[in-house]
Chains A and B, each alone.
Chain A
Amino acid sequence: MGGYVLKRLVSAVPVLLGITIIVFLIMSLIPGDPATAILGSYATPENVEKLNRDLGLDKPMVQRYFIWLGNMLTGDFGRSFSLNRPVLDEILERFNATLILAGTSFILCAVLGVLAGVVSAARQYGLADKAITFVVLIGISVPSFFLGMMMILAFAVNLRWLPVSGMYAIYGGGDLPDLLHHLVMPALALAAVATGVVARLSRSAMLEVLRQDYIRTARAKGVPERRVILGHALRAAMVSIIPVLGIQAGFVLSGAVYIEIVFQWPGVGRMLVDAILKRDLLLVQGGVVFVAACYVLFNIAVDVAQSLLDPRIKT
């Protein structure tokens, strides 16, 4: 087992390197002089020249890449000019908020999605199945940012159940109940599409598995139907559901950008959009590399979970 984890971690190294290369190449697409692009057109020539030196822009590209990579490996992501603080500090602080939001949404989409899919499959063509199919269709068709806005109208403005936006109340609060109170709407809005996708897939995975011979064997043994569905069938279906959960985690992370904007959530997504609009490219660069690297590591965790579930995967 430990060997398998190690093997997967080692195999992630080229992918992580690839990510840095891609981000580096994209950033070198910047038209004109990057230092001017970063500092804006009102920057003094001295400042431009200084930044050029700091970024090593006077050096050849390959050398520049390795300097940048080396700096990142030592924890130096550069300094954000718009916030005037180290990029990594800002990212770590913002990533925490994103993790709370996206993590909650991911758990919601996994639990609710699989549950809905199982119920749907177990009651195929029944009332529950039709209701779930309908809700899922709506869910996967509403853009998350629109859904978030409508939820604000319904639950914050009209019903006044939940706060309009933010992560904590401005006065007082700051504790866990306050966080949860603020988390409900953005987490649900963010989870909606992914839940729909997971529910659909779980339904078809369950239907596929329920036709297998080993389900008939379980029934022939006299295993109670509830256990046939929730034990034998679900376990086998999870083999095809788990990789999709890994993919959906990427979509949840992507959707978080919109939801953070709609709900004024102080996460990495909002930071990135603000940074793009302010042309704070070092912050963008650092944020993208950091989040992408976390996502790669998360997918390794997904692979490990898969290997724990399925003994046929050679570990």
Chain B
Amino acid sequence: MSSFFHLLFRNRLATLGAVVLAVIVLLVLLTPLLPLQNPDVTATADRFKRPFTEGHLLGTDHLGRDLLSRLLHGTRLSLAIGVAAALIAATIGSAIGIVAGYFGGRIDNVIMRCVDMLMAFPYILLALAIVAALGPGLMNALIAVAAVNVPFFARNIRGIAVGLAGREFIDAARLAGMGHTRIILTELLPNVLPVIIIAMSTTVGWMILETAGLSFLGLGSQPPQADLGSMLGEARSALISHPHTSVVPGIMIFLIVMAINLLGDGVRDALDPRLRSGALSRPRATTMVDRDSPAPAPTDDLLAIQDLHTQFHVGERIYRAVGGVSLAIKPGECLGVIGESGSGKSVTALSVMGLVASPPGVITGGAVRFQGEDLIGAPYEALRQKRGDRVAYIFQDPLSTLHPLYRIGQQLAEAIQSHDRISNAVARTRAIQLLKDVRIPNAEARIDNYPHEMSGGMRQRVGIAMALANEPDVIIADEPTTALDVTVQAQILSLLDDLRRARGLAIIFITHDFGVVAQLCDRVAVMYAGRIVEEGPTGAVLDAPAHPYTKRLIACVPELGGGRRVLAAIPGLPPMVDRLPPGCAFAPRCDKVQEGCRAGDIALAGTAPRAVRCLFPEEEV
């Protein structure tokens, strides 16, 4: 609760709203005690006095009544009526909602049908019909506004009550022999109450405005009694000659509604956990770059990741997702990058083309060179032209990575047309050919499917087809087979392998599966806590892992036909990358750990092509 208020009042606008509202409420509460003139005493000789005249701070209205006094009394009335309407609507609406949610079944069905019908009206029509039947008047306006808002509460509270009614504590109360009324009042109501109060606080401003509106139309408070709406309504006829009589009540309504809006927004933001983490910020077109050191010198590799550092800046915390990774790949080569979830392998891959979500992602050091040209910090257009054209991606879950509202043909054609000015007809023909290349049967018909109309394996083939669209030099495949079942996985892997051999593609294959690496990759790099701990030719690393982590990781893989054995799970969890220990990040989980391991930075060392980042490796490399 205190953290809620802390969040709420850290929001300056919400605080402003709270202050304005508090001042108005205080003024209104004190109104009877203030030395004000009688709001209803007319003095036709003093009509339409301008503001700041002697004795009338805000001037007088068309009957010579003191505007300040009328304003405060009117505000008092408007607030009272609005709050009363909110209370009535909340009480009746919640009662209906709780009954519907608690009893369920047919009762629920009938009640909610009625609520739906009430909600089918534009709100004012219902209010007007009620006022028409009951006759104009403040009380009738109050009834109308309350009645119009009952369905809103009924529907919201019913949703909560349905969820609660199925919970164990309600069952327990029933088994204990409690009656329905008692269960609702003592068990259900206390749990629903906070929701009712929040719903009320967000609608009270609205109800104040609605009653003011009805009074403005002449259907609410009747002369001489005035609320803010009827003040404005009466002033309307003198709008052009004496605007101050309209402006004064109008600004008061505006202030009240704005203050409630600001406060309401603050409450909602403070309650919404997504906003707390700052996750609702838009990723920019490219990852932010903030390098403090010059980029390393170019190499003659096709694609070289050099001492890459990528961090996530969330509030005060800095997560070092990638802490100095270097990888290189040549044409036709397949490099596997393996590691547990959170080891930084995906972030490394996304950093290449500046696709790390930013904020919070920042590339803080190193370089990514494609044919010698540094892509980190390259202008957006230069990067965009290479994205999908020279370096293409295949992502993990194609249901979420393909756009749900575009046909796959459109998505494929777009990939081509973003780099190649060709007609839609030609693009479509090429798209069909791509689908055939990835062995999608019946490609001519499939091209008009939406992603949700295809199976997981088919969708992943589409993902691969999209990556192949512009015949790129490098494909970065980020766990492309993880979401698929084994037979489909095997098909996709052999497809990728064929394409690589046929087209001379370089593939960076990111996975947590050693089986996949063994099948496809020439070389493998093992990542842990944002760094490479071992790399070398696939066969050598698998046969004789040098880093204890690699060895343990391989030992975790169950073997077919290996009989039952104890799977050697690695105890503990990978470290949080916002507070990495000095020295070896694996030390806390390593059974060979010694004093020196925790001392300082350990270099990636060995004789090419192998290297390991360990003081006491399992094998000398």
Contacts and interface: CB of A to CB of B under 8 A. Distances in A.
Interface of A: 14-15, 18-19, 21-23, 26-31, 121-122, 124-125, 137-138, 140-143, 145-146, 149-150, 152-153, 157, 164, 204, 206-208, 210-225, 227-228, 232, 235-236, 239, 250-251, 253-255, 257-258, 261-262, 269, 272-273, 275-277, 279, 281, 284-285, 288, 291-292, 295-296, 299, 309-312
A153 B132 contact: no
Contacts of A22: 117-118, 121, 126
B280 A143 contact: no
B129 A211 contact: no
B388 A141 contact: no
The 8 A-B residue pairs whose C-beta atoms are closest, nearest first, are A18-B117, A141-B258, A254-B124, A222-B387, A222-B388, A146-B250, A221-B388, A250-B122
A18 B250 CA distance: 37
B130 A257 contact: no
B10 interface: no
Interface in B395-412: 395, 397, 400-406
Contact of A143 (B236, B250, B389, B466): B250
Nearest to B240: A157
Contact of A207 (B280, B387, B405, B450): B280
Contacts of B350: 216
Contacts of B254: 141-143, 146
B125 A291 contact: yes
Given A137-B262, A221-B388, A221-B418, A27 B250 contact: no
A312 B239 contact: no
Contact of B124 (A14, A31, A223, A257): A257
A124 B257 contact: no
A22 to B, nearest CB: 6
B330 interface: no
Interface in B495-554: none
B281 A207 contact: yes
B125 A143 contact: no
Nearest to B417: A223
Given A143-B212, A221-B415, A258-B213, A29 B130 contact: yes
A221 B388 CA distance: 4
B602 interface: no
Contacts of A137: 258, 261-262
Contacts of A143: 209, 212-213, 250, 253-254, 257
Contacts, number: 236
Contacts of A285: 129, 132
A262 B400 CA distance: 50
A282 to B, nearest CB: 10
A161 to B, nearest CB: 15
Given A216-B401, A222-B385, A23 B129 contact: yes
B118 A232 contact: no
B114 to A, nearest CB: 7
Nearest to A210: B282
Given A206-B282, A311-B450, 17 more contacts: A18-B114, A18-B120, A143-B250, A152-B240, A210-B283, A213-B400, A219-B387, A222-B384, A222-B387, A224-B384, A232-B406, A253-B125, A254-B123, A254-B125, A291-B122, A311-B404, A311-B405
A312 B402 CA distance: 14
A68 to B, nearest CB: 14
29 contacts: A18-B113, A29-B130, A29-B133, A122-B282, A143-B253, A146-B246, A149-B246, A153-B240, A211-B279, A213-B400, A218-B414, A219-B285, A221-B415, A224-B418, A228-B285, A235-B403, A251-B122, A253-B125, A255-B124, A258-B216, A261-B216, A276-B128, A276-B219, A281-B132, A281-B133, A291-B125, A292-B120, A292-B121, A292-B122
